[in-house]
Amino acid sequence: MVYWALVSIGVIGMPAITAYGLYRWSRGFGIGFAVLWGGWIVASAILADHDVFRQSATTAQPWIGVAAGGALLVGLLAGTRVNAPLPALVWPHVLRVVGAVFLLAMATGKLPAVFALPAGLGDVAVGISAPFIARRLARGDRTGAVWFNALGLLDLVVAVSLGFLAGLGPARVLDVSPSTADVAVLPLVLIPVAAVPLAMALHIRTLVRLRRAPATGLAQGLTGRRESTPVP
């Protein structure tokens, strides 16, 4: 139950905070995102319950990668139309602290340290840092924002890579015990197929916005006002 509680907080909470920020900017976009991502979480849970994502020691099972990659692609495509205030794109990362579930799984012998330590500690660090970056952006201060998003994205890439390399299957490189097979079953599988793609899309969109947007207008925070100058 502890695993389910922690995973649910992150997997449901991150999209909920994202939807709230988008709703304050554009009601239609916020509602649309909530329906789309909520539906994907439910669909992912159903697929996982039918062992679609479960790993095999003898054959390659690409479906968890296909699902996560598809969700990321949708998030990136939809993100090109998002000009919500930048703090709204940072606040969802606060719930990355639930990455501590990987540390708990390691402590109980369900995940290897080579994966759980960088994935769990990295997520916790991002989650703790997120409020400070969001508040700075709300004041129009970009200090640390690029580094926060770049390192947050790197954390996800490293975690996904280690999860794959230490998993079951012919492509397994890190022969550790236990493997990361538990990340491919409920409830942990909801993190890579639903939470990680959203977090990646938010990081990438924020980095693009930081590169293109003028410093003015960042202090809108979560007021719900559209930016005066749309940014592609």
Residues in the chain: 232
At residue 228, the pLDDT reads: 37
Q: What are the structural domain ranges in the chain? A: 2-220
Which amino acid is residue 177, in one-letter code?
S
- Number of CB atoms found within 10 A of residue 111's CB: 28
* Model confidence, pTM: 0.91
In degrees, rounded to 5, the angle at the alpha carbon of residue 119 between the alpha carbons of residues 87 and 9 is 55
Angle between helices 63-79 and 27-49 (to 10 degrees): 180
Q: What is the pLDDT of residue 226?
A: 45
**pLDDT on residue 58:** 85
Q: What is the DSSP string of 147-194?
A: HHHHHHHHHHHHHHHHHHHTSSSTT-----SS-SGGGGSTTTTHIIII
Which residues, 6+ apart, have CB-to-CB distance to 167 below 8 Å?
55, 179, 180, 181, 183, 184
The string of pLDDT tens digits covering residues 135-188 is 999 999 999 999 999 999 999 999 999 999 999 888 788 989 999 999 999 999
Ranges of residues in the chain with a pLDDT under 50 are: 216-232
